[in-house]
Amino acid sequence: MATEFLHADEEVSCFRDIKPGAPHHYLVVPNRHVGNCKSLGKEHVSLVEKMVETGKEVLQRNSITDLSDVRFGFHWPPFCSVTHLHLHVLAPVSQMGFMSRKYRLDFYWFITQSHPTGRAGYLGGPDPARGPQTS
């Protein structure tokens, strides 16, 4: 089965998840190998930001503009079946069913790119899964 790329550039690629947890469920992956979210360090900040921005662009091209009803995140090992970093982009969250509970926000097995404990090693930026932040 051929994969349809929704986005591809020198750094990242994006395609549909084969077992979607939401009507729009995409995976954004780096083209160069990064093991998983436990492998992330400060040197990966720009890569993770690029992955999130790519996910937002693909959502917008598919008529999803309400980022308050979107989830971005990684499965924390050992709760990931693929040993290559991949960002899950899910929308609309309000239409996720019971079986999509493995994508619940900041549970042990699914973390956002700016997890408050810094467990993924990435400590920067606002959390796109929580929508715009106000001061």
Residue-level pLDDT, tens digit, the chain, 135 residues: 678 999 999 999 999 999 888 899 999 999 999 988 788 888 888 999 999 999 999 999 999 988 888 888 887 766 667 778 999 999 998 887 655 555 555 555 566 665 433 444 443 444 444 444 333
7 noted as active-site residue: no
Show the tokens assigned to 30.
Answer: 């780096």
Say how far apart CA 29 and CA 107 lie, in whole Å: 22
What does pTM read for this prediction? 0.77
Q: Which of 44, 86, 88, 115 is catalytic?
A: 86
How many other C-beta atoms lie within 10 A of the C-beta of residue 117? 8
